[in-house]
Structures are given as structure tokens and as C-alpha cells.
Chain A
Amino acid sequence: MHQRGRWPLILTFLAPGLILYTVFVLSSFAQGVQISFTNWTGFTPTLEYVGLDNYLRLFRDGAWWRAVSHNAVLLIVIPVLTLGLAMLFAALITRGGAGNLRAMPGAELYRVLFFFPQVVPVVIIGIMFSYLYASRGGLLQGVLQMLGTDLLTLVPNGPLGNPDTILLAIALASVWSSVGFYMVLFLSAMGGVPTELYEAAALDGAGRMRSFFHVTLPLIWTHAQTALIYLGIGTLDSYALIAVMAMTGTAGDFGADVMSTYLYRTAFSFSSQFGYAAAMGTVMMLASVALALVTFRLTRREEMQY
């Protein structure tokens, strides 16, 4: 095909997507950044610019830094637990790698079972875990009582009423909901690893542990990297679960208040400070980009060809 003739074709295919993306994604981002330089209340058609005031205020806002610290905790706890468990389950189902020794009996069933929570909407998961943690008639309480102890003795005020435990209790709900998805992701990656490599490793005397760490893991590393970034950005948000389980961050003496919930309350409960909230949104956006770049940099390894 002629070089010149290609462009109209490419543009025809690209244009609809680009236009939609620009209208519904880029323009909202741009507008959010624009609003962050104003004291807009969200009700008027006009804007009044206040320069960097919102950002300076944010820098001095104790409640904001408290929220940031909670996000930081989640950023460590959720990916470590989620990806660790997902990798473990994937490895167990395939016995350390797709190739050797093939799948265990019942692997298909586990695949479906573990993936199941992914199909349940986040809000339902939040409500479900709130009941699970309830001190009257909750599942956790029931199990503990069978063991002869009481939830409220172990955790005063309950997991969601105690500032020290509320964040972890919510993180566990998040881990439960997404482990299955990442397990399936890792399973499919493991399926792509050639069987010969495992046979060679086995001939060299490598057991299941060794072949997992020295064959499987390096070969599916790019998948793990993608999962880490995807999960990290989702964790930076964490809005839905905390909105449902922690009264948009206010429950448990703000023990689970994160950037997104604080942003929401700033815009919709605290005297309509949309400009200030937009500044928080902008910082969150920059944080997401920074997180992705840092993760890529920290996890960079030599690319394997197979």
C-alpha cells in the first residue's frame, strides 16, 4: 500500500476512539486541573481563580496527610497480600508451573471458585464484609464463639469500630475480592511457559520450589509487573469499599479515611469546596502516574524471550 494512502485509513479507525477519549477522559482531567485553581462551589456557571491557594492549603492540612498515610499502608498491604496469595494459589493449582506434572485434580473447580468474588460488585462485597465483622450474628463472631472466645474481647469495639483495625479489616475485604482475578492472570501467564524448560529443570534436579522461583517467576515477571501497577492504582483510589464499610472514611475515628473519601467529603459535605477537592484530585492523579513510573523503575528486569 502507498505510504500516503495509509493515513486516511488509520485516521478513520482512530478518530472515533480518540474523540470519545478526549471528550470523556482528557477533557474531564483538564477541567479538574482547571477547577483546582479556583474556589468554585459546584453550583455556579462562573469560576474565580485563586492561584495555588488550594495546593498550599492541602500541604498544611493534617487530615489530608492522615489520609495519605492510610493510602500508603494500603499500598503495601493490599498488593503484597493479593499478589502473594494469587501467585501462591496459581502455583499450587499448577504445581509450580504449567508444564511439569500438569494441573492438580480439581484445578478447574478452584479456578472458578477463586475467581467468583471478582464477579460480585464492590458495594455488595463491602456490605457482606460489614455483616461478616458484625458482633451480633456475624460469621467471624460465630466462629470465634465456637472456639470459646468473643470478637469484642479480641478486638474492642469490633474490627470496623476500632481505629487500629478498621483499615486492615477493609484491606482484607479488598484482598478477598481480587485474589481470584490475579490468580487467573498468573495462571494464563504460566500456561505460556514452554514445557521443555520444566523438563530441563527437572533433569537438572530442580524441585517444585526451585522451578517456581527460577523458571516460572522470571518468565511471568512482566505479568506480575502489570498486576502490581494495576492493583497499585486501584488501591490509591479504594473509594467504594471505604465508602460502604467506613461511612466514607469517618467511622473508627477516621481510621480508614483515605484521599478519595476525604476528597468526596470535601466536595459534597464540607461546604461545597469543589476547588479544594479538585486540587486533591489533581494530586491523586499525579500520584497515580508517579506510582506507575516508580513501579516500572523498581521492578525492571531483563526481558526473557521464550
Chain B
Amino acid sequence: MSAPLGSRTPASSRRSFLGLAGVLGIGGLSACATSGAPAGAGAGSSDGGAGNAPTSPENPFGLGDGELTAFVFDGGGGGGVPHLDLTEELFLEKHPGITTDIVRTEDLGTLQPQFVNGTPPDLFQNSGSGALDVTTLTANDQLATLEELLAAPSWDDPEITVEESLNPGVREAGMIDGQLIGLNTVQYAWGIWRDAALFEEQGWQAPSTWDELMALSVQIKAAGMYPWAFTGMHANYFHEGVLQPLVAKFGGQEVWKNVDNLEDGAWHQDAIREAAEALLQLRTDDLILPGVAQMTHIQAQTAWLDHEAAFIPVGAWLENEMKSAIPEGFRMTAGALPSPDPALADLVPNNPGAGWYVPAAAANRPAAFEFLRALLSREASRNYAELNNSVTMVRGAHDDQELSEAFGTITAMIDRSNAVEPWQVVKFSSWYPSLAEEAHAALMALVLGDLDVDGYLARCQAKADEVKADDALRKQTR
């Protein structure tokens, strides 16, 4: 990949920039945020690293010696992303000539000036509230495509490629602007969680159809409990965990494809209307724990652990997140959202996440690729699951892995869902965050506030139309 950075802007604008700076009397000081190194300089071609070795199935990227710099989001909790220790060991075992520098950080925002200066690290894991906007980075040609990585032989079995060693969905989840940019290694499946012990005690059957759910809701209320809790502060939980699968179960996954592609009237599709009507009933029948509107995810999850509500939509990470607060005898169990269409009852949203990215200007791209290859090894995956109680995208890595009961219900839930059809990641929230924000707020107003179904659909559609008409926002399709 050759120096794509500076080419977007003609040199004249740089001159006028300096001119303006001069006019403002800050000529000597204009070198702060926006005048870094003169762009890219094509540093990251695949022969970028220091000493290179010939390529072989054992060393597909021809890695010799040199340095690997990686930035990793570390959500705190004192963990320090421990699963990377093993990956690093595996990597160094094979490539003793490389020095690794893996920076664990709570805020990736510090990488932004490095991109401006054209000196990004070789690799970064993009999560957390300071996560970088990879869509824009891709539009600026500042991220490398990972095709070479996915086509390389896998770590454990040179007979198959890295891509063949993974579950379906990795490629789709990593596509930005029609290129494979992100490597999402963890399965963030959304389940509807319940306490199996409580259900047994009360003689409740986990519902699989929407009608069964509504019938059970009456019993749950009779037992002095609310059927639903969720976080209203992080409205995306209810959107991703409940609305997205419900719409897909009403009308198929193409419905979301139309929304993602900003098709005219996409929000007025029947499936979205039906789902909105079903969800509005949760409000009118008083099936939602009062006060969830101002609860954070932790507050809502705590209320659920205290048996104030029977169900809560959360991702596969729930057990890990609440580890210290789970009461004795509580049996966390994940299941699919009950479905109006029995054929789609087992379908769950399953979004590959925890994305890794390689900057186009990485000094040592082969090392970055090789590190990711090690990360996708069986050993590293099983180690990840052990430490984090969640499932990676590596095919079959967790088949015979026995961890907690909750972990078992997640893997079973994902397997059943994959048997129905692969989940297609809904993209509009990452492509058009302002639309997602409005859709989340409108959904909360529907299920907690005073919005009706027509009002809800109209609000979402109006924002979608606004986004579509806004030339400043780059459009994408899938």
C-alpha cells in the first residue's frame, strides 16, 4: 500500500493553512494538533519490518526480527488483559528475535495523535469508550486490509487457512467500506438470561414462543415479580438484545439489511412495526421493572440478581461482569428471545467483537499479522475462554471445554442459533452512530415513555432520511 494519506488534500491547502496561521499571528505555533509528519510515507508495506525471513507455512509472513508495538484496551478490573500473556508466549516461542511491546491502556484516545503524526503502532485492539472511529480511519486509507492474514495457514493446522479455522461471521463483521479491515475474535452473543433455579422452584418453563412468553409473564407477575429488567441508560442493550432479534424473527434478517442500506421507508417495514407493537405491550401490560429508565447496566443486573425481574437481555459477558455479586444457588442461564415464528426460535444476535486492527502505516505489519495468527490458535482461544468465561470465534476450540454452567448455556445457545442460520451483524449503529443514538432514544420512549408505534417509526425514519440526505456522512451498503 503506498502513501495514500497526503493525496486526499492538495498541497495548496497546506500552504493556505500556514497562511492563515500567519494571519492569526501564530505562525511559529501552528505546529500543534494538525501539522505532524508529512503523512504516511508508505511505511507499512509488507516488507516493512526490520530483518525479513523467507516465507514458509510455519512463518507465512516472513517474519525475521524487529519490534512489535501493540495497544490493547484494558477495561480495568485489575486483569491487565491476562489472556494476552499466553499469546505473547506462543508468539515469542516461534519468533525469539522479536521484541514485543504490548501497551495495556484504558483509553485508546492517545492513539489519535499517533495517526495524525503518521506513526501509529503495529496493531491495536479497539474497545472501550475511547475506541477509535475505524470507519473514518478506513475512509482515510489509514488501516490495512487483513486478507493476507485470513488466507495464511492457520497456527495449529497448516492444511487449512486462518479463515477456515474460524466460525462464520468473522469476515462480515470485519468488513468496512467493502474491505476486510477488522479481526473480531470474540463471540458477543446476546441472550435473554434467567435464573434456572428460580424457574425450577416456581415450576416455570422457559418460553420459546412469544405467546408462551406473554402467558408466563402473567404468572411471573402473580408471583410478585416483574418479567423484564434492562438498562435504560445504555439503551443499546435493549436494542441489540431484544429489538434486533425480534424484528429478525418477525420478518427475517433482510429487514435490517434494508435499514442498514438506508432504503426509503425501511423503518416502516411490517416486521419493525410488528416488533414495536409487541414491545409496546410490555409497557401497557406493565411487564417492565419500574425505574429501569435511569438504571445503568450494573444497577439493572443487580436488580435482576435480586429476583426483582425474571429476564434480562445482556451479552455473553454477563457472568464475568457480575462474578462478585452472584448470590449462592443462582443458576445463570442464557436462552434465545422467544419468537413469533417457531422456526426462528433459536436465532440469537451473535456479533463477533473485540476487534483488532492493523494501521496501514504500521512499521512491522508481518509481526502484527503473526501475533493475530497466534491469538487465533486453539491454545490461546481456550485460555481466553478460561480467563474470561466467554467464547472466541475459533471453530471447535471450546467443544469439549467445561467451564461454568452459564458458559455451557452460551455455547449451546450459539450452536443452536448457527444451526438455524448465521446471524448477520446489523451495521447501521457503527456506520451511522447518530442514527443509532436516535433509534435507541426512540425505542426507550416507546417502551418506557409515552411514544406510540407510529411515533416511534416516524422518529426513526425521519432520522434515517436526515442521515441519507447528509453529504458529510459517508454512505455504505451491505
- Contact residues of A with B, CB < 8 Å? 22-23, 26-28, 30-31, 33-35, 39-49, 57, 130, 133-136, 151-152, 157-163, 247, 250-254, 265, 268-273, 276
B474 adjacent to chain A (CB < 8 Å): yes
A-B residue pairs in contact (CB < 8 Å), sample of 15: A22-B26, A30-B21, A42-B116, A43-B116, A43-B140, A43-B142, A44-B116, A45-B117, A135-B294, A158-B293, A160-B233, A250-B441, A253-B445, A271-B133, A271-B433
Residues of A within 8 A of B433 (CB): 269-271
Distance, CA A26 to CA B29, complexed state (A): 10
Shortest Cβ distance from A48 into B: residue: B9
Interface centre among A43, A57, A133, A254 (most CB of B within 10 A): A43
B315 adjacent to chain A (CB < 8 Å): no
Interface centre among B34, B37, B140 (most CB of A within 10 A): B34
Residues of B within 8 A of A254 (CB): 441
- The answer to whether A26 and B291 touch (CB under 8 A), given A31-B33, A47-B13, A253-B441, is no
> B294 to A160, Cβ gap below 8 A?
yes
Residues of B within 8 A of A48 (CB): 8-9, 13
Shortest Cβ distance from A23 into B: residue: B29
Distance, CA A26 to CA B142, complexed state (A): 31
Residues of B within 8 A of A271 (CB): 133, 135-136, 432-434, 473-474
**Smallest distance from the beta carbon of A199 to chain B beta carbons, Å?**
54
Residues of A within 8 A of B437 (CB): 250, 265, 269
> B9 to A247, Cβ gap below 8 A?
no
> B8 to A44, Cβ gap below 8 A?
yes
- The answer to whether A133 and B294 touch (CB under 8 A), given A22-B29, A270-B433, A272-B136, is yes
Residues of A within 8 A of B117 (CB): 45
Shortest Cβ distance from B431 into A: residue: A271
- The answer to whether A46 and B13 touch (CB under 8 A), given A39-B472, A251-B233, is yes
Distance, CA A27 to CA B34, complexed state (A): 12
Contact of A57 among B38, B444, B472 (CB under 8 A): B472
**Smallest distance from the beta carbon of B194 to chain A beta carbons, Å?**
20
Q: Lowest 6 CB-CB distances: which A-B pairs, in order?
A: A161-B293, A135-B291, A161-B294, A157-B293, A158-B294, A160-B294
> A30 to B34, Cβ gap below 8 A?
no
B204 adjacent to chain A (CB < 8 Å): no
- The answer to whether A152 and B290 touch (CB under 8 A), given A43-B116, A45-B116, is yes
B427 adjacent to chain A (CB < 8 Å): no
Shortest Cβ distance from A265 into B: residue: B437
B112 adjacent to chain A (CB < 8 Å): yes
- Contact residues of B with A, CB < 8 Å? 5-6, 8-9, 13-14, 16-17, 20-21, 24, 26, 29-30, 32-39, 109, 112, 115-118, 132-133, 135-137, 139-140, 142, 232-235, 290-295, 299, 302-303, 308, 432-434, 437, 440-441, 444-445, 448-449, 472-474
Distance, CA A159 to CA B262, complexed state (A): 35
Distance, CA A22 to CA B25, complexed state (A): 10
Shortest Cβ distance from B136 into A: residue: A272
Contact of B21 among A34, A136, A273, A276 (CB under 8 A): A34
> A31 to B30, Cβ gap below 8 A?
yes
**Smallest distance from the beta carbon of A147 to chain B beta carbons, Å?**
18
**Smallest distance from the beta carbon of A262 to chain B beta carbons, Å?**
10
Distance, CA A32 to CA B440, complexed state (A): 31
- The answer to whether A35 and B136 touch (CB under 8 A), given A135-B290, A157-B291, is no
Residues of A within 8 A of B115 (CB): 43-44
- The answer to whether A45 and B13 touch (CB under 8 A), given A35-B34, A247-B234, A253-B445, is no
> A34 to B472, Cβ gap below 8 A?
no
Shortest Cβ distance from A136 into B: residue: B303
Interface centre among B9, B38, B294 (most CB of A within 10 A): B294
> B136 to A34, Cβ gap below 8 A?
no
- The answer to whether A30 and B112 touch (CB under 8 A), given A160-B294, A271-B473, is no
Distance, CA A98 to CA B228, complexed state (A): 59
Distance, CA A213 to CA B473, complexed state (A): 57
Residues of B within 8 A of A270 (CB): 433-434
Distance, CA A34 to CA B14, complexed state (A): 12
**Smallest distance from the beta carbon of B382 to chain A beta carbons, Å?**
35
> B232 to A161, Cβ gap below 8 A?
yes
Residues of A within 8 A of B26 (CB): 22, 26-27, 30-31
Distance, CA A231 to CA B137, complexed state (A): 39
> A250 to B133, Cβ gap below 8 A?
no
Interface centre among B116, B293, B437 (most CB of A within 10 A): B293
Residues of A within 8 A of B16 (CB): 49
Distance, CA A272 to CA B117, complexed state (A): 17
Shortest Cβ distance from A269 into B: residue: B433
- The answer to whether A46 and B294 touch (CB under 8 A), given A41-B140, A157-B448, is no
Residues of A within 8 A of B29 (CB): 22-23, 27
Task: Apart from A162-B294, A247-B233, list 12 A-B contacts with CB within 8 A.
Answer: A23-B29, A27-B30, A45-B34, A45-B35, A45-B116, A45-B118, A46-B14, A135-B294, A135-B295, A161-B292, A252-B293, A272-B136
Residues of B within 8 A of A160 (CB): 233, 293-294
Residues of B within 8 A of A152 (CB): 290-291
> A43 to B299, Cβ gap below 8 A?
no
Distance, CA A48 to CA B432, complexed state (A): 22
- The answer to whether A42 and B20 touch (CB under 8 A), given A136-B299, A270-B433, is no
Contact of B32 among A28, A41, A42 (CB under 8 A): A28
Distance, CA A26 to CA B32, complexed state (A): 12
Residues of B within 8 A of A272 (CB): 133, 136
**Smallest distance from the beta carbon of B23 to chain A beta carbons, Å?**
10
- The answer to whether A43 and B137 touch (CB under 8 A), given A247-B234, A250-B437, is yes
**Smallest distance from the beta carbon of A133 to chain B beta carbons, Å?**
7
Shortest Cβ distance from A63 into B: residue: B434
> A45 to B294, Cβ gap below 8 A?
no
Residues of A within 8 A of B112 (CB): 42-43
**Smallest distance from the beta carbon of B60 to chain A beta carbons, Å?**
30
Distance, CA A31 to CA B26, complexed state (A): 9
Residues of B within 8 A of A159 (CB): 294
**Smallest distance from the beta carbon of A188 to chain B beta carbons, Å?**
38
Residues of A within 8 A of B441 (CB): 250, 253-254
Distance, CA A114 to CA B433, complexed state (A): 42
Shortest Cβ distance from B300 into A: residue: A136
